Amino acid sequence: MKKDYLYTKYKIIYSSRKAHDTAFTLIELLVVLGIISVLFSVGFANFRGYQRKQAIMAAARQVEGDIRLAQEYASQGKKPTVTCTGYLNGYLFIVNADNTYDIRADCSGTDETVKDNIAISSGMTLTPATSMLFKVLGLGTDIPSASPKTIIVTSSLTGDKVDIVITYSGVVTVDFE
């Protein structure tokens, strides 16, 4: 008897509901889809900006790492093995006009290439074309004390810039704008 009572009560409650009470209207679905698409668009735009900023930072870190490599080789007095038979003056870091750079050992009379035509990420530029010598055994650089050298990494997509500043004593700083 109790079972029949519950079944009857449930059936009455269920049958009294209308079909449209449990569903969503087309307007509600369109509003939800509109909100989701706006949130997705804003999130995607922010992600693209973040991705572009990370690309220029990665290019600047690559250049900074190779500057520090030349500096480390010079401070160790590490001689290349092939043609550097004379006195080692230091290591040159050379920025070329075609957005590449080289690391060369400056031996008495000759230069030996350690790393040649290293390209940075596509869409990035290096300015100005310049060179600097890191002298052996921590004796600094050939940069005048009054005017440190600045290498600028620029994104051609956004115009964002990162300055890599090298002082006469060999201190390398990276300024992300």
Q: Which residues contact 161 (CB under 8 A, 6 or more apart)?
A: 56, 152, 153, 154, 155, 177
Distance CA 127, CA 95 (A): 8
Q: Are 121 and 157 in contact (CB under 8 A)?
A: no
Q: What confidence tens digit (pLDDT) does each residue in 113-145 have?
A: 889 899 998 899 999 999 999 999 888 899 998
Domains of the chain in start order, with CATH, are 42-176 (3.55.40.10)
Q: What confidence tens digit (pLDDT) does each residue in 160-175 have?
A: 999 999 999 999 999 9
Q: What confidence tens digit (pLDDT) does each residue in 70-83 have?
A: 999 999 988 887 77
